[in-house]
Amino acid sequence: MKIHRIRVPSATGKYEVVCGSGVLRGAAREIARLGKFSSVHVVSSPKAWRAVGKLVPRRFGLLGAAAVHLFHDAESGKTLASVEQIARSLVRAGADRRALVVAVGGGMVGDVAGFAAASYLRGIALVHVPTTLLAQVDSAIGGKTGVNLPEGKNLVGAFYSPSLVLSDFLMLRSLPDREFRGGLAEVIKYGVIADKQLFAYLEAGMEKILRRDAGALEYLIPRCAEIKARVVGADEHESGQRETLNFGHTFGHALESVTNYRVYQHGEAVAWGMMAAALLGYVAGITPEADAARILALTRRLGALPPWPKVAPAKLIAAMRADKKARAGKIRFVLSPRIGQARSYDGISAEILQRVLQLGPALLAHLGAASAL
């Protein structure tokens, strides 16, 4: 069993992402290296716990069995009410300032449990055990926590780094196909923004990857974690380079918001968002036609997505203006001047954006990827 250890710089000290098949067998040893805790509290969802709970150790080192706290993990449950529910459950279980929260689940569980850990008693220790591909390659790394408001996604939260991330590839065996494909959207994102060789690997081997080939996962998950660690290490609080991690997310978050978080899984919204960003970049003269076509073609190979919503462009634009990346009312888009690179842009004209929102969805839905431009 090969174990990958990726160090992530943080203002509160470095932490490790430990990933590989079966890493949870050594969870007690890894957590013992962090120090002594008064109690351990697993925070998960009924769905995630049913799927992977048997793989998670009940004991961590010399401590007794961990308390388990469950909350509803649908995107519609990513709210301050869920944070309150977790916090009150921790109080009833006797969690003090030396307690440890172990977040077991996908990105939504990690975001909410992380925010609960950040705010409970003004911050207690946190370990992430991501159980989805999306969480293992992206959301569990970098210290972003938060919840949604009706007005937009992730508008309330905190930067709060975990002490450790344990990514066990065995967790992905029980992952529904739809969630796995959604996670691959984030993997494609890393190729677009930072690694043209990774992008080419995905183009050459997408069918094998969709079958969850062990060798492919052994390469993809650590590579994405390395990119995320490098980017957040250089810009922990998203004041510059870290914004590139949001390629496709300005559109994607708007799609989630206008459909009340009930239509798309996050990765599906990001997939639509990346295709829209590729089209926007092309129309704006930023993304070369050949590169935009490659982004469209690869993303479409993920499979069918829930359809683009039948909403007016003005409603999507209003949602984009509420996005946390907006500055002084200006919408900021992460676009790719070439595969392997990305930058933030806030000078995209309203006319170009309107054109893409009016014509783009029909093009993307009905034309072949190679001819969509």
Catalytic site residue from 153, 223, 249, 300: 249
The whole-number pLDDT of residue 241 equals 80
- To the query of whether residue 366 is one of the catalytic residues in this protein, the response is no
**In which band, very low, low, confident or very high, does the pLDDT at 369 lie, cut at 50, 70 and 90?**
very low
CA distance 74 to 148: 12
Instruction: Mark 250-280 as b/e (b = at least 16 C-beta within 10 Å).
Output: bbbbbbbbbbebeebbbbbbbbbbbbbbbbb
Question: CA 120, CA 128: separation in Å to the nearest integer?
Answer: 16
Q: Which domains does the chain have, with CATH numbers?
A: 4-174 (3.40.50.1970), 184-371 (1.20.1090.10)
Please tell me which residue in 153, 242, 294, 332 is annotated as part of the active site.
Answer: 242
Given the residues 69, 78, 144, 189, select the one marked as catalytic.
Answer: 144
Q: Which residue has the tokens 């962090």?
A: 34
- How many beta carbons lie within 10 A of that of residue 122, not counting itself? 7
* Chain segment 58-84, per-residue pLDDT in tens: 777 656 778 999 999 887 789 999 999
41 is a catalytic site residue: no
Categorize the per-residue pLDDT at 370 as very low, low, confident or very high, splitting at 50, 70 and 90. very low
Tell me the average pLDDT across 11-26. 93
Task: Please give the structure tokens belonging to residue 24.
Answer: 């949870």
Most confident of 49-63, 135-149, 313-327: 135-149
Per-residue pLDDT band at 11 (split at 50, 70, 90): confident
Quick check: is 122 catalytic? yes
Helices (H), 238-349: 249-258, 266-283, 289-300, 313-321
16, 75, 236, 238: the active-site residue: 238
- Alpha-carbon distance 272 to 218, whole Å? 26
pLDDT cut 90: percent of the chain above it = 79
Q: What is the average pLDDT across 39-48?
A: 95
Closest CA to 135 of 158, 170, 109, 114: 109
308 CB-near residues (< 8 Å, 6+ apart): 255, 272, 361, 364, 365
Decide: 225 and 137 in contact? Cβ < 8 Å. yes
> In Å, what is the CA distance from 153 to each residue of 69, 306, 319?
24, 19, 9
242: annotated active-site residue? yes
Q: Which H helix or E strand runs over 91?
A: helix 80-92
From 246, 256, 294, 300, active-site residue: 246
Instruction: Give pTM, 2 decimals.
Output: 0.92
132-148 confidence digits (pLDDT tens): 999 999 999 999 999 98
Cα angle 102, 104, 107 (rounded to 5 degrees) comes to 115
What three-state secondary structure class fits 355? helix
- Those residues whose C-beta lies under 8 Å from the C-beta of residue 31, and which sit 6 or more positions away, are 37, 40, 60, 61, 100, 102, 127, 164
- The one catalytic residue in 69, 78, 153, 266 is 266
pLDDT of residue 61: 64
- pLDDT of 62 reads 58
Average pLDDT, the chain: 91
Catalytic residue status for 98: no
* 326-351 tens-digit pLDDT: 766 789 999 999 999 999 998 899 99
pLDDT value at position 58?
Answer: 76
Q: Which of 54, 122, 262, 310 is catalytic?
A: 122
User: pLDDT (tens digit, 9 = 90+) per residue, 209-250?
Assistant: 999 999 999 999 999 999 999 999 886 666 678 899 999 999
Is 229 in contact with 141 (CB distance < 8 Å)?
yes
Residue 47 designated active-site? no
| Distance separating alpha carbons of residues 57 and 27, to the nearest angstrom | 7
Q: Locate 96 and state its tokens.
A: 């003090």
Distance CA 364, CA 361 (A): 5
100-105 β-sheet, strand order:
4-8, 15-20, 164-168, 125-130, 100-105, 40-44, 67-70
Angle between helices 289-300 and 177-194 (to 10 degrees): 160
Task: Look at residue 149 in the predicted model and tell me its pLDDT.
Answer: 87
Q: What is the pLDDT of residues 102-125, one digit of tens each?
A: 999 999 999 999 999 999 999 999
Q: According to the model, what pLDDT value does residue 365 have?
A: 66
Q: What is the dihedral of CA 104, 106, 110, 112, to 10 degrees?
A: -110
Active-site residue, selected from the candidate residues 69, 78, 153, 253: 253
pLDDT at 362 over 90: no
Please confirm, yes or no, whether 238 is among the known catalytic residues: yes
- How far is residue 121 from each of residues 87, 91, 286, 320, measured CA to CA in Å? 9, 10, 47, 34
Catalytic residue among 78, 128, 153, 228: 228
